Amino acid sequence: MNDPTTRPEPDRCPVITRRRFLAALGASVAGVAVAGYGISVWGRHPTAPITNPTATPTPAPGAFGSTTGRTLVVVEMGGGNDGLNTVVPHADPRYHDLRGDLAITEPLPLDDEIGLHPALGFLADEYAAGRLAIVEGVGYPDPDLSHFASMATWWAGAPGATATTGWLGRYLDGTVGGDVPLAAVSIGPGPTPALLGDRIFQVSIRDLSGLAPHLPPWIDSADELFGMWHGFAPAIEDPGTLLGRVRGAITATIDAAAALDEVLPDGGPSTPERRRGRSDLETSMAVAAALVVGPEPPAVVYVHGWGDFDTHEGQAARHEELMTSLDSALAGFFATVSEAGAADRVVVMTASEFGRRAASNGSGTDHGTASVQFLLGAPVAGGRYGEAPSLTDLDRRGNPVHTVDYRSVYASVLTGWFEADAESILGGDFEVLPVIG
């Protein structure tokens, strides 16, 4: 029986502390930012190491100067692109013997020795105009032909033991640090280890469908929501605490989303209406172009996860489709940046973890070694660089032997394009090719 003299205890309202309020606001703001753009912001190291033979010290921001207002766009061709059927040694009878029915018999001729895959018409035109550099025979000593180990080597900028940063992450650590929200942008299924650094934030974009539909009803605009967070966030005083680090991550996410909202307020080139008829790479490169011509162009845009170049079988049709997508995407990208007057401040570089075996296996090719890299853009000194590997002097597994260390290509971009100290970033002295005019 209830005692009428005992008053029921009132319902307890949860105590709203400053920390809880800020955490709730931050979660709301960051959630809207991430929902609106399919983005995540990554800082510091990956959870698992990537390969690197020597521990390179983290450079201080500004140690390599500024980012010079220039952009490098890296297009990763995951799976191992067939260099021999991309840049075709049509004058070498050994190529036709090794490839049989898989040989490209009518490439787009560049000179008396080589030609491009027939689907690369835009690149052939750019080569003729002096804006395409082809680096032949790219690889590294004692290659590991597993996909992950090979990509980890390329991401880190050196083969060997363990490290926790990528080659582009180290460059950005020594230029902008963590001060520029969109300095490092990856477009693809997640962040790329190549952009992981000790100080920088990497913005990983999966989709840009627009921000406005995700705003809560009590907020009129994205600017109002972002402004609320920036007004309250300084109340978290100590950046060294866990809460302070969370605040930094939320702030970085918000700043990145705000910058993207300015560049692509309506979802830009990735809205469904504009995606129709485009490949994944064409859509990604359209987003990259919008970033480059925007008010705060990134220093690095890394495009990945768009195609499977691991052509063990059915290569002829698959590789043609991939080459068509690459050519069309690059043509669209440069049309956009040229129209905006930004062609002189961007260079595109391709990358793939390895090439393919010299001989076909019937309908495809197995994992190989030396391959080709493209550098493309108005600042590029077009032409052939390196040396095409011999097709008669193969290694014990039947693979071409590399003639150019891939870190020479990195050093050439870091030195020639970014005017940075490549030796400090790569942990060694590598030949600089004159690929930047």
The label of the residue with tokens 């036709």 reads 96
Residues 50 and 31 in one domain: no
Q: Residue 73: beta bridge partners?
A: 301, 348
For the domain that residue 91 is a member of, what is the CATH number? 3.40.720
Q: Is 298 among the domain residues?
A: yes
Q: Taking the mean position of all CA atoms in its chain, how far away is CA 289?
A: 13
What pLDDT score was predicted for residue 349? 99
Q: How many domains does the chain have?
A: 2
Q: Is 271 among the domain residues?
A: no
Residues 170 and 303 in one domain: yes
What pLDDT score was predicted for residue 24? 43
Beta strand ranges found along 341-403 (DSSP E): 346-351, 371-376, 383-386
Residues 144 and 290 in one domain: yes
Q: Which residues contact 362 (CB under 8 A, 6 or more apart)?
A: 313
What pLDDT score was predicted for residue 191? 86
Tokens of 69: 């207002």
Which domain, by its residues, includes 338? Answer: 45-210+280-426
Residues 51 and 19 in one domain: no
Residues 158 and 298 in one domain: yes
The label of the residue with tokens 């440069």 reads 334
Q: Which residues contact 422 (CB under 8 A, 6 or more apart)?
A: 410, 411, 414, 415, 430, 432
Residues 31 and 49 in one domain: no
Do 384 and 434 contact (CB within 8 A), yes or no?
no
Residues 82 and 29 in one domain: no
Q: Is 327 among the domain residues?
A: yes
Tokens of 25: 């606001």
What pLDDT score was predicted for residue 287? 87
Beta strand ranges found along 288-339 (DSSP E): 300-303
Helix 315-339 vs helix 280-292: angle between axes, to the nearest 10 degrees? 20
Tokens of 348: 């595109």
- Domain finish residue from 238, 263, 288: 263
What pLDDT score was predicted for residue 14? 41
Q: Can you tell me the distance from the alpha carbon of 135 to that of 403, in angstroms, rounded to the nearest whole number? A: 10
Parallel/antiparallel/unpaired status of strands 201-205 and 184-187: parallel
Q: Is 431 among the domain residues?
A: no
Residues 204 and 227 in one domain: no
Do 378 and 130 contact (CB within 8 A), yes or no?
no
Total-model pTM: 0.81
Residue-by-residue DSSP string for 161-225: SEES--HHHHHHHTTTTT--TTSEEEESSS--GGG--SS-EEEEES----SGGGS-TT---HHHH
Q: Is 270 among the domain residues?
A: no
Q: What is the mean pLDDT of each run of 10 residues along the chain (437 residues)?
A: 46 42 42 49 50 47 63 98 98 98 98 99 99 98 90 85 80 86 86 89 68 44 53 52 56 64 57 57 91 90 94 98 98 96 98 97 97 99 98 96 98 96 94 98
Helices (H), 53-166: 93-99, 121-128, 147-156
Q: Can you tell me the distance from the alpha carbon of 351 to that of 80, in angstroms, rounded to the nearest whole number? A: 9
Residues 374 and 318 in one domain: yes
The label of the residue with tokens 């690369």 reads 120
Do 399 and 390 contact (CB within 8 A), yes or no?
no
